[in-house]
């Protein structure tokens, strides 16, 4: 009893202390902490193996600033890393990927350790059963040869060790390795934002409005503040309401564009879209006002021409402007 207690007491103290210690460790992290953690896992592209957190090289500063911006915008760690991978390649992350050939970097050491530990355990078993005095390897090999079941058991044990080693390695890789950009637990591969935006815009131009809308929705799921997706989605919804005579879609389109304007207030393209929607709603006055505002926010030349064209139409209809 006393004997049990003398071990149980320290063990209990350790367990309680660790429980207390573990509980405090994963509270919600502040933005700077999160940004710092991400920066520490991103390689500085110009400075030899250091992380961007540890470097003052200009490229590292720019990446740090980008991480800060995205953290402030509420993007998830994985998304921020994925966006950097899209621009710089997989090598920008200091944590190697969990899958593919690169994943072996996780699997091999764990498997090797388990193999070696298994081998050592088997050696200890053998040492215990075979008297040391006659234990040359030849004797043991001979002995094993005579007893086929023993050998089979040995082979089975070895097989078990190999299986456990590989399983442990894969488990560590999955727990610790970087998942490829867009790789989800279900294994679904999702395209990166920019690709999806491009595809959506191509689809829309080709007339597949619903397909485009689906892609924009997907983008917004990952990045609810994506201005381009919000604005384009709004315009598409509005045009769909017009073409398919589904008037209930128009307010939703409008709110999507308005959300885009909340994120980036002076964006001439979003303003232009808002104007178009207002016109669809029949509020020509507000539309003209919005289009003027779009013109005043210095749109690029091509967009300016388009807006002016629409404004011209509005002008002739209304006789204003």
Partner 1 sequence: MNAALGTAGVALGLAASLIGILTLAVGLRRKRSALLRLGRSYASLVLAGAVLATVAMERALITRDFSLSYVASNGSTATPALYNVATLWAALEGSIILWSLVLAGFTVGVVVKFRDRLTDPLVGWATLVMLVVCAFFFLLMAGPANPFTTVAGAIPTDGPGPNPLLQNHPLMAIHPPMLYLGYVGFTVPFAFAVAALVTGRLGEGWLAATRRWTLLAWGFLTVGIVLGAWWSYEVLGWGGFWAWDPVENASFLPWLTGTAYLHSVMVQERRGMLRVWNLSLLLATFSLTILGTFLTRSGVLDSVHSFTESPIGMWLLGAFAATVVVTIGLIGWRGDRLRSPGSIDSPVSREGAFLLNNLLFAAFAFVVLLGTVFPLVVEAVNDERISVGTPYFNRMTAPIGLALLFLMAVAPALPWRKASGELLWHRLRWPMWVGVATLVTAVAVGARGISPLLAFGLGGFAAAAAVRQLVVAVAAARREGASLLRAFVGRSNGGMIVHVGVVVVAVAFTAASSYTTSATFTLTEGASASIAGHTVTYEGMNEPQVSPQRTLVSARVRVDGGQVYEPALNQFPNATQTIGTPSVRVGAVDDVYLTLVAVPEREGGPIVLGVIIEPLASWLWVGGGIMAAGTLLAAWPTRRRRPAGQAVLPAGTPEEAGTPLAADDAERVPTGVR
Partner 2 sequence: MALGHPEEDLAIHPRDDDDEVLSPRRGRTALVTALAVGVVLVVLIAVLAMSEPSSSRLADSPLLGRRAPAIEGTSLLSGERFDLRDERGRWVVVNFFATWCEPCRAEHPDLVRFAAAHEAADDARVVSVVFSDQPDDVERFFAQRGGDWAVIDDTTGIVPAWGVTGVPESYLVDPGGVVVAKIIGGITAEGLEDLLERAQGGPQGPGS
What residues line the site for partner 2 (CB under 8 A)? 45-46, 58-59, 61-63, 65-66, 69-70, 83-89, 91, 136-138, 141, 194-195, 197-198, 228, 268-269, 297-303
In 3-state terms, what secondary structure has residue 51?
strand
Say whether residue 24 binds partner 1 (CB under 8 A).
yes
Binding range to partner 1, per CB under 8 A, among 116-124, 200-208, 241-249, 300-308: 116-124
Contact call for residue 50 and partner 1 (CB under 8 A): yes
Binding of partner 1 by 31 (CB under 8 A) = no
CB of 67 closer than 8 Å to CB of 80: yes
Binding segment toward partner 1, per CB under 8 A, in 117-125, 232-240, 256-264, 296-304: 117-125
Backbone φ, ψ for residue 97 (5° rounding): -65, 160
From 20-28, 200-208, 244-252, 259-267, give the range in contact with partner 1 by CB under 8 A: 20-28
User: Long-range contacts for 151-159 (Cβ within 8 Å, ≥24 apart)?
Assistant: 154/122, 157/118, 157/122, 158/118, 158/122
Query: Are 182 and 190 in contact, with CB atoms under 8 Å apart?
Result: yes
Of 100, 127, 126, 110, which is closest to residue 161 (Cα–Cα)?
110
Contact between 285 and 250 (Cβ < 8 Å)? no
Q: Assess 241 for contact with partner 1 (CB under 8 A).
A: no
Rounded Cα gap, residues 67 and 70, in angstroms: 5
Asked whether position 188 contacts partner 1 by CB under 8 A, the answer is no
Decide whether 209 or 303 has the Cβ nearer to partner 2.
303
Q: Which of 8, 117, 142, 163 binds partner 1 (CB under 8 A)?
A: 117
62, 76, 176, 184: which one binds partner 1 (CB under 8 A)? 176
Closest separation between CB of residue 18 and partner 1, Å?
6
Query: Toward partner 1, which CB reaches closer, 19 or 302?
Result: 19
Q: Which CB sits closer to partner 1, 32 or 312?
A: 32
Residue 41, interface with partner 1 (CB under 8 A)? Answer: yes
Q: Is 178 helix (H, G, I), strand (E, B) or coil?
A: strand
The DSSP line for 261-312 is: HHHSTT-HHHHHHHHHHHHHHT-HHHHHHHHHHHHHT---HHHHHHHHHHHH
């Amino acid at each position: 009893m006393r004997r049990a207690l003398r071990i149980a007491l320290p063990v209990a103290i350790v367990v309680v202390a660790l429980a207390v210690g573990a509980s405090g460790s994963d509270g919600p992290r502040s933005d700077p902490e999160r940004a710092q953690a991400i920066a520490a896992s991103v390689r500085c592209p110009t400075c030899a193996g250091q992380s961007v957190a540890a470097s003052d090289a200009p490229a590292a500063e720019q990446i740090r600033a980008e991480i800060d911006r995205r953290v402030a915008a509420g993007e998830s760690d994985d998304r921020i890393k994925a966006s950097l991978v899209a621009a710089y390649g997989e090598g920008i992350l200091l944590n190697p990927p969990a899958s593919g050939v690169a994943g072996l970097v996780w699997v091999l050491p764990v498997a090797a350790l388990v193999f070696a530990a298994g081998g050592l355990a088997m050696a200890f078993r053998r040492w215990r059963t075979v008297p040391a005095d006659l234990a040359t390897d030849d004797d043991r090999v001979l002995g094993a040869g005579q007893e086929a079941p023993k050998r089979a058991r040995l082979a089975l044990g070895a097989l078990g060790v190999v299986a456990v080693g590989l399983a442990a390695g894969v488990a560590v890789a999955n727990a610790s390795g970087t998942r490829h950009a867009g790789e989800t637990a279900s294994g679904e591969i999702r395209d990166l934002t920019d690709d999806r935006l491009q595809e959506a815009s191509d689809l829309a131009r080709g007339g597949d409005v619903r397909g485009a809308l689906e892609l924009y929705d997907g983008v917004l799921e990952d990045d609810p503040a994506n201005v381009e997706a919000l604005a384009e989605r709004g315009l598409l919804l509005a045009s769909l309401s017009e073409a398919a005579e589904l008037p209930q879609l128009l307010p939703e389109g409008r709110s999507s564009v308005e959300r885009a304007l909340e994120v980036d207030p002076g964006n001439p393209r979003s303003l232009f879209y808002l104007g178009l929607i207002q016109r669809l709603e029949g509020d020509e006055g507000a539309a003209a006002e919005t289009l003027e505002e779009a013109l005043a926010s210095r749109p690029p030349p091509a967009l300016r021409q388009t807006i002016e064209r629409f404004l011209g139409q509005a002008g002739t209809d209304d006789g204003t402007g």
